[in-house]
Structures are given as structure tokens and as C-alpha cells.
Structure 1
Amino acid sequence: MMTSPTVRLEDLPNLQQLLESRWSELHDGQQQESVFRYQLIIERERVTDGRAGFLLQLNRQRTTERRKPDIFSGLRPLFDPTRFNFNKVDSREILLEFTIGSTLVSILINNSPLTRNHVLIVPDLTQNQPQVLTADSLTVAVQLMLKLADRNYRILYNSPGALASVNHLHLHLLHISHKLYVEDACLTELQNGLYRLDNQPAKAYCFVLDPLSSTATEFANRVHQLIRILISNNLAHNFFLTWNHNRSNLCAFVYPRLVACENKQIAPFNVAACELSGFVPLGLESDYERLDEQQLEAYFQQAQGEHLYATVDGLVARGR
């Protein structure tokens, strides 16, 4: 049973428990017809040798059983009601609904999960917003991260041209019980609280939120300023929200891409938000066994573009 849409996030002290118990009930319960495409089984798991320590997981079913991703062009695609969207899901897939400010937030299972409790965050589901990150949706993401007691949760988003698979505004919530390299990497401050991830496998810009000194809305608006610059310059991007190494501050990483990838893999795996951040799910055992940090970094550079910082730094400095 869903929570009433009139319930506010602040009135859900047991949000995490609700989410996890309802996810488990659907995934683990004995139902005649499951809403999941497969039972999540991580066959193998290892951490790469080297400075980054990527978490590699073998999940063959994700590759073979998931719904085929849609192909859509441009960073501002029009919402197409005839294509798959989240209004068409089985009603059992909606775990929770509540409001954050004026936004109605629907929490849906991801029926092809990467981790346990892998869900989708869909702001104002029936308004049929395309997969373009908004300031309100960023505020929702930050508020949810602040609400969840377990700080191994992360939130991510993939834009069109950066391996988004559904053109209906949504973010992913994942539980990853592993420290990711971006969480304790040194950051270079550029200007006004904007940082850059230097000398690391992926290229990213970062904003840091101290929950005691800034609000979720203020933080989301700062992140969205960068997102707007990227969109206005037709640069695809990935977004990753996580806690830092000591779990005191939130870090929002934005990974620009100089060349859009229209749902065509340029590597043996998706080079999207979680992979760029250090979590690499794989569908083939041969890839799981052979990939190392040098190869992963090469794939990241190919996906993002070799001279990315030279391009984006200039756009950020000019504010356009």
C-alpha cells in the first residue's frame, strides 16, 4: 500500500525503513507474478588494485533481462507519451509517494536492479517532464539524502546523451556498501565553492554541502547553475550525489561529456554516473576478470573527451 500523497517528507521519520521493507516484500516475497525482471544475484565482486579501488560486480541478468533502453536525441528531448514512461508501470512498482515542498515525489522500484533497494525518484510523475535535470529535482535529491540515516545511499542521474534510457525525469537511488574513490579525492577549488576533481580517473566538477551552514535549496540552485551552462552549450552530463569520506558533508559531482553518446556503448560497460564514480556493474565474466584501473580510466577519457577541462573551465568562468 502506498503512502498518501498528502504526506510530507518531514512527516515520515521511518522513510528508510518503509522503502527497504516494501522493496524487500516485492523482491523477496512469494508472489504469483513478480514486478521485477529478475531476482538480484551478484555473482562475483572484487575491488581493483590501485589508487582508486573500483568496485566491480558481475550481474549478468542486468544485461540480458532489462528493458531495452530508448534512443532519443538532444539534451532537451520532448516528452513522447507513446514511448515507455513511468505512467505505464505496474501500480505495484510505486513504493511510496510524498511531498517535498510543492513537489510530489514518487519512489518506484527499478525492476532491473543493480543493488538491493535500487529505486527511481520521479518528481511530479504525471507532469510528464523530459529527462532534463531541474533545480526542484536536485532539491528533492538533496532532501532525500539528508533524510536517509544510512549514508551508503547515493543518488545519480544520467542526461540524454550520457546514457539516460528513459525520457521521463527521474534519478536513481542506490545502496552501495563500499567507499568510492571520489569521496576522499583531493579537490581543486576554482571559484565560489566550485571544485574540480583533478588527477583522478574521471573528470568532474564538485559542490560540497555542509548541512549545518547551507540549505538544500541553496545548494541545489548552485549545482543547477552549472547544469544550465552545460545544457546551453549542448554538453551531456552525469550527476552523482554522495557523502564524503567521513560522512559529514554531501558532495555533488557533475561529469560533463564533450561528445554525446546516444545510448551506444563505447566500452564493454556503460560509462555513466555510477561507473565514473567508482562502482562498475558488468554483464560479462570476461570483462569482470580482465578490467583494471588503467583500462577503466582510458574508457572514461574516451567517453568524456581528452580536453574536457580546457573547454568547460572557460564556460564556467564566463558563466555561460
Structure 2
Amino acid sequence: MLSPKQIPTFFYDTKDFNTTVKLYKEKESLFDNVLQQMWKQAQEAKAFRYILNIRSSKSLKGKYKFLVQLNPERAQSRRTPESITSMQQSFNSIGFNFTKLTQQEILFDIGNSNTNDVIAINDSPLEQSHCLVLTERLKCLPQIMTEYSLYKVIELCLLSNSWSLRATFNSLCAHASVNHLHWHLYYLRHEMLLEYIDLSSFTSDVHLLINYPAKGFCLKLSSFKSIQNFVSQTFLVVSYLQSHQIAHNVYITRAKSRPSDDLYNDVRIYIWARKPSFGIKDTIAFIPAVCELFGHFSIKDENVYNNLTEDEVSNVLNDITHEDFLLTKDKLKHFLEK
């Protein structure tokens, strides 16, 4: 076990939150600077399985502007994912888990300096400053979202002054690779459709994402009077999926009102109910987890990268979300309104 004294602590307050940020014009916050600098130091210390090398990047032709990146090292060098067979799978202390991280891998504490809440590197990075947010790490909780972890991640997103910081969560049976509670945090400096796509009304607080291949639910910070209300209502949706053992993915992004806006004045949380991952065939050589549902694809094979089309991607996203969206929608609305 690492000594708390070995890990620096990042202290913050609500006055450090940035509710509005500007496109490509950000003056990075202290949080951004610390996160990026310590991530680079870990890279220099060779704490990663490989040096991030996105060999090529492009937007697919079509109306969804899917972002596709060629990153073969991630597929070749990453740790073998844990075998997940159930939404109720218990934590396994014998295999790899986040209590076994080295000091090089933990960047800093984001709690009370006891190394229970920390930010650590993802040693197989997808993008720049790709990290893991590990809340209540020493409790050895399985990969089942807690309201506390969601609140902590929202706070970290608001500490950033960058429009490009994103946070993601894969549930069990939705391509979570380690059954130990964690979120992903990374910078994606590409404008994405789901930052501003039109949504349909559902309940007073929850919206529907339907004009997109991956059908799902969305909550917006601007719909709530406080961060706590935003988190509580979001967690209510997630807890419904958890209690009914429905696999799900969650993506948090800055958002704006119109495509042409430079000002990001909102935060959106997308929630997808989806087919369980053990039942999905990897037919076009990408793993349809949370980033892919958002429109960000990491491709391992150059031939696939060169030939992938919007129609192929759309078909996969629709296949893994459409049925569960339809099965969940009305029951979830009844649950929320009750």
C-alpha cells in the first residue's frame, strides 16, 4: 500500500469551477496545468505501456462527423481486460485492481490526502492526458457507479477551463475492462456533434437523443438549479439501469447552444442503455464502448481505418442501443415521474 505522504494532494473549492469556457481560446486552469504536467512527467518516467502515438486522424464523411483515429499500440499493448460475465460480478482482490498501482501511476490525490480518491494515469492512453478517476479506491468497490463518484467527476470537469476535457464510464458488461470503480478523463480537442445536437423532450429534466444512431438519454446542467440536483437526477437514471441489470455507458462533455458558438455554457451527460458486451461481435475491428457511442473511434487496423464508412459505424451503434432504448424508455419515464 502506498503511503499518503508519497502522493501530492490537489486542493480545490467551488470558487475554482468554470461554468463557461471558450472554444480554442482557453486559458488553462490550475487543474488543467497540474494534470497535464504530471501526466507528461509520468510519460517521461516510462510509466505507460506505450508512448501515445495517434498515427492518423480524420472525420468520416457524412452528417454525424464521426472522429476516427488510428492507434494500433492501444490494441497491441494494453492489459488484457478482465473477463466480465455479469452486471453483479463482485470485486476480485486476486487479479489486477487499482489498489496495486505503483507510485509512478498515481498523479495526485483529489480528496483528503489519504489516497482513497485519486487521479491515476491510464497506462494504455487513448488520447492526451488520458487518466483514471478512482473514487473510494481503497473500499474495493466493483465497477458500479456511485453518486459520490459521479459528483466528484462533475467537479473535476468544472475545475477545467478547457472545452475539450471529457469524462466517461463503462458499466460492467458494457466494455469495462477492470471491475474496480473508475471513470476515464481525457482531452479530445475535436469539435463533436453531441456537444450541440438537438434533443427531444422526455421528462422535465431528461432529454432524448434520437436523431443519432446511438439512441439514448441526456441531462443538461442548465436544466438544474444546482450541481447536486444535476448529479442526483442523473444518478437516478443510472440507478434504474443498475437495478434492472441493463448494461450502460455514460459520457460527460461541455456543450454549447449552436454549432457556430465559441462559448461553451453547459455540460451534458449522455446515458446509453445497450446490449451487454459479451454478446457483441467485433465485426468491424473497433470496440463499441462509451467513446464510440459518443462518436470517437480508436482503430487498431490501418486497412479498417482507411475503409471505414459512416454507414458501417451507424449500423453498429444502432444495433447495440436501439432495442434496449425502446425497451427502457417508457419504463424509465414511469419510474422518474413516480
Which of 140, 147, 166 is 1:135 aligned to? 147
* Deviation for aligned residue 1:98: 1.9
1:88 equivalent in alignment to 2:105: no
After superposition, the C-alpha distances for 1:156-190 in whole angstroms (9 at most, x for unaligned) are: 00001100000000000010011111111110011
| Counterparts in 2 of 1:146 and 1:157: CA distance versus 1, 3 Å | same
Q: Which residue of 1 aligns with 2:215?
A: 203
Q: Which residue of 2 aligns with 1:176?
A: 188
Which of 302, 305, 310 is 1:285 aligned to? 302
After superposition, the C-alpha distances for 1:130-174 in whole angstroms (9 at most, x for unaligned) are: 100111111011111111111200000000110000000000001
Preserved CA contact (<8 Å) 2:7 2:115: no
Q: Which residue of 1 aligns with 2:23?
A: none
SS at match of 1:133: coil
Preserved CA contact (<8 Å) 2:202 2:333: no
Which of 77, 89, 103 is 1:65 aligned to? 77
| Counterparts in 2 of 1:164 and 1:263: CA distance versus 1, 3 Å | farther
Which of 146, 154, 166 is 2:166 aligned to? 154
Which of 216, 235, 244 is 2:246 aligned to? 235
Q: Which residue of 2 aligns with 1:24?
A: 40
TM-score of the superposition, structure 2-length normalised?
Answer: 0.87
After superposition, the C-alpha distances for 1:65-99 in whole angstroms (9 at most, x for unaligned) are: 00000012222321110011011122110001022
In structure 2, C-alpha distance between the alignment counterparts of 1:35 and 1:265, rounded to whole Å: 32
| Counterparts in 2 of 1:172 and 1:188: CA distance versus 1, 3 Å | same
State the Cα RMSD in Å: 2.0
In structure 2, C-alpha distance between the alignment counterparts of 1:227 and 1:172, rounded to whole Å: 17
1:297 equivalent in alignment to 2:314: yes
For structure 1, the 5+ residue unaligned runs are: none
Q: Which residue of 1 aligns with 2:232?
A: 221
Mean Cα deviation higher: 201-210 or 308-317: 308-317
Preserved CA contact (<8 Å) 1:266 1:303: no
SS at match of 1:99: coil
* Deviation for aligned residue 1:282: 0.5
Preserved CA contact (<8 Å) 2:208 2:216: yes
* Deviation for aligned residue 1:24: 0.8
Preserved CA contact (<8 Å) 2:220 2:266: yes
* Deviation for aligned residue 1:9: 2.8
In structure 2, C-alpha distance between the alignment counterparts of 1:190 and 1:253, rounded to whole Å: 14
SS at match of 2:33: helix
Q: Please tell me the residue identity of whatever aligns with 1:9.
A: Y
In structure 1, C-alpha distance between the alignment counterparts of 2:162 and 2:241, rounded to whole Å: 32
In structure 2, C-alpha distance between the alignment counterparts of 1:311 and 1:92, rounded to whole Å: 45
For structure 2, the 5+ residue unaligned runs are: 1-5, 17-28, 257-262
Q: Please tell me the residue identity of whatever aligns with 1:274.
A: C
In structure 2, C-alpha distance between the alignment counterparts of 1:265 and 1:141, rounded to whole Å: 31
Q: Please tell me the residue identity of whatever aligns with 1:288.
A: Y
In structure 1, C-alpha distance between the alignment counterparts of 2:326 and 2:185, rounded to whole Å: 32
Which of 232, 251, 260 is 2:276 aligned to? 260
Which of 59, 63, 78 is 1:47 aligned to? 59
Preserved CA contact (<8 Å) 1:160 1:262: no
In structure 2, C-alpha distance between the alignment counterparts of 1:86 and 1:112, rounded to whole Å: 14
User: What is the 5 A alignment of 1:88-107?
Assistant: 88-99=100-111, 104-107=116-119
Which of 68, 87, 99 is 1:75 aligned to? 87
1:8 equivalent in alignment to 2:19: no
SS at match of 2:248: strand
Q: Please tell me the residue identity of whatever aligns with 1:286.
A: N
* Deviation for aligned residue 1:103: 10
After superposition, the C-alpha distances for 1:197-233 in whole angstroms (9 at most, x for unaligned) are: 012121110000029x532222111011111111122
Q: Please tell me the residue identity of whatever aligns with 1:280.
A: F
After superposition, the C-alpha distances for 1:94-116 in whole angstroms (9 at most, x for unaligned) are: 0010228x995200000000111
After superposition, the C-alpha distances for 1:24-48 in whole angstroms (9 at most, x for unaligned) are: 1121x2x4xx211001111111111
In structure 2, C-alpha distance between the alignment counterparts of 1:165 and 1:315, rounded to whole Å: 29
SS at match of 2:138: helix
